[in-house]
Amino acid sequence: MKDLFDLNGKIALITGASGLLGPKHAESLLDYGCKVILTDIDEKTLKEKYEELSSKYGKEKVCLEVMDVTNKESVDKVIEKYEKIDILINNAAKDPKVTKGDGNLTPETRFEVMTKEYFTDGIDAIINGTFITTQSVCNKMIKTGGGVVLNISSDLGVIAPDQRIYRDNNKEEHEQNVKPITYSAAKWAVIGMTKYLAVYFAKNNIRVNCLSPTGVYNNHPEEFVEKLSNIIPMGRMANIDEYKGAIIFMCSDASTYMTGTNLIIDGGKTIW
C-alpha cells in the first residue's frame, strides 16, 4: 500500500520560518522526506534555524532564503529560483506576545488609541504576505501540475480574544494591555482567503486549506498560563510539537479530498 504521508521528491516553502512554529512545520515535512525552503525577513534567527535543521536532516534537504513576504519583488525573486514548489505554508505573521518581563503587548494595542499606521503594519505580513506569496507560488504550481497551500490562521480567527487573560489588576483601564484587533482581523481574513482560493484553484489541482492553532506554551508567565488554561476545556496550552501531525496530514496525500477547510486544533477552546 502506498504511504499516504510520503513526501519524498516534494519541495515545500515555509514563510515565517524563524518563528516559534515555523521550524516545527519544517520538521514535520522533513521527517517524511520533503525538501524544505525556510524563508523569513529575520536573517539572523533564520540562519540559526537553518543550521539546526540542516545539521539534523542534511544540507541537501534544507534551503535558506531571506525573504520579505510584503515585498512582491523579494518573493518573486525567491520563487523563480526553484523549478517547482509543491507545498506552501503561509506562516508569516506579526503577533504581539505575552512574555515574561514587560512583554510587548502595550496600551497602544488598544482600539481607542490605535493609529492607522499600527493597524496597517499589524495586518501587512499576514494579509498582504499571504496574498503576495500565494499568488507567486500558485502561478508556478499551475505550470507544474498543482500543489498544496496551507495557511496558518488562529483560534482568534474564529472567536474574539478573551481580553481578561491579559488584564493586570494593578493598572487603570486605559493602561490595560490587550490583544490588538490587527491580529483578529488578519487571521479572520486568512480563513476567508482560504475558502476563496480553494474554489478558485480547484480546477488546477491546487488544494488550499487552513490550520487554526491556539496558544502554544513558550515559557509564558505562570499567571497568563493559568488564565488561558482556564478557558480551554483540556485545561492547558498546546505543546510545541502538537501541530506536527496536522501539518503532515494536510500537506500530504492523506488529505487529497480536503480543500477549503479550516482545521481548528485548540484543546476545545472555540467550542465553549
In this model, does residue 100 exceed pLDDT 90?
A: no
In this model, does residue 254 exceed pLDDT 80?
A: yes
* Residue 177 pLDDT grade (very low, low, confident, very high; cuts 50, 70, 90): confident
Listed by start position, the domains of the chain span: 11-96+125-158+181-218+239-266
- % of residues, the chain, pLDDT over 90: 89
Mean pLDDT score, 16-45:
97
pLDDT for position 2: 67
pLDDT for position 45: 97
pTM of the shown model: 0.94
The CA distance from 39 to 18, in Å, is 8
- % of residues, the chain, pLDDT over 70: 95
pLDDT for position 105: 60
* Residue 139 pLDDT grade (very low, low, confident, very high; cuts 50, 70, 90): very high
In this model, does residue 267 exceed pLDDT 80?
A: yes
* Residue 17 pLDDT grade (very low, low, confident, very high; cuts 50, 70, 90): very high
User: Is the domain covering 11-96+125-158+181-218+239-266 a CATH 3.40.50.720 domain?
Assistant: yes
* Residue 193 pLDDT grade (very low, low, confident, very high; cuts 50, 70, 90): very high
pLDDT for position 102: 47
Look at 103-112, 226-235, 246-255 and tell me which has the smallest mean pLDDT.
103-112
* Residue 84 pLDDT grade (very low, low, confident, very high; cuts 50, 70, 90): very high
**What's the whole-number average pLDDT of the chain?**
95
* Residue 108 pLDDT grade (very low, low, confident, very high; cuts 50, 70, 90): confident
In this model, does residue 79 exceed pLDDT 60?
A: yes
Mean pLDDT score, 173-200:
95
Mean pLDDT score, 159-173:
93
Mean pLDDT score, 3-15:
97
| Sheet hosting strand 206-213, strand order edge to edge | 62-66, 35-40, 11-14, 87-90, 147-152, 206-213, 262-265
In this model, does residue 4 exceed pLDDT 60?
A: yes
In this model, does residue 27 exceed pLDDT 70?
A: yes
